[in-house]
Structure 1
Amino acid sequence: MLTLTSDAVQVIRTVTADPQLPPKSGIRIQAGIDGSETLKLSVAPAPEDGDEVVDEQGARVYLEPATAKMLEDMTLDATVDPKGDVAFTLTGPPTEV
């Protein structure tokens, strides 16, 4: 299952804390529509039918089934630059030497 770093948890909670969003809002990750390995990330009011839900400390990530399988052993991290722009990154499991 996808795991979240503490930075990702904090950023997702901040992004979804808007009082105009429903209480179950989260970040949805899905495969790009062009068939490539590009992923699309958006704020979602709730999971869609069939989505896998990752909930860590109130930070919710909704993954469509194919995307959940692709990211099952990965970690989502987030950084915020001095301008306030957010960047999400995915890292794989550590390789054994």
Structure 2
Amino acid sequence: MLTLTDNASTIVKTLVDQNLSSDDAGLRFSQEGPDSGGLTVTTAEQAVPGDAVVEQDGAKVYLDQTAAVALGDQVLDAAVDESGSVQFSLLPSAPQAV
């Protein structure tokens, strides 16, 4: 399942708090269209039925079925660039010791 870095958790919470006031609000990753390989990121009042829910350090991320598969074992990181834009990046998850 997708995990978030500390930076990503902080930025997700900040984006959601700036745009929505619901306790269930989060950031939602979904497929742009049936023929698109890209994902759209939007703020959402709540999860849509069928969404996978990732909650970490108070940040909520909702993944539609396509995003859940695509981001399955990844680590979401985020940063704010010089112009104030949020940049998300994906890192492979670290292998776990057995």
Category of TM-score, reference length = shorter chain:
0.7 to 0.9
Give deviations 1:50-81, integer Å, cap 9, x for gaps. Answer: 11000001100000122212211111110101
Aligned length: 95
Counterpart amino acid of residue 7 in structure 1? N
2:40 alignment partner in structure 1? 40
1:79 alignment partner in structure 2? 79
What stretches of structure 2 of length at least 5 have no aligned partner? none
Give deviations 1:15-45, integer Å, cap 9, x for gaps. Answer: 1113752121110001120523211000001
2:22 alignment partner in structure 1? 22
Going from structure 1 to structure 2, the CA distance change for 1:2 and 1:20 (only over 3 Å counts) comes to closer
Overall identity of the aligned pairs, in %: 35
Going from structure 1 to structure 2, the CA distance change for 1:19 and 1:34 (only over 3 Å counts) comes to closer
Question: Is the contact between residue 50 and residue 65 of structure 2 (CA under 8 Å) also seen in structure 1?
Answer: yes
Aligned-residue Cα RMSD (Å) equals 1.8
> What TM-score, normalized by structure 1, do the two folds share?
0.87
Please give the secondary structure, in 2, of the residue aligned with 1:17. Answer: helix
What stretches of structure 1 of length at least 5 have no aligned partner? none
Please give the secondary structure, in 2, of the residue aligned with 1:33. Answer: coil
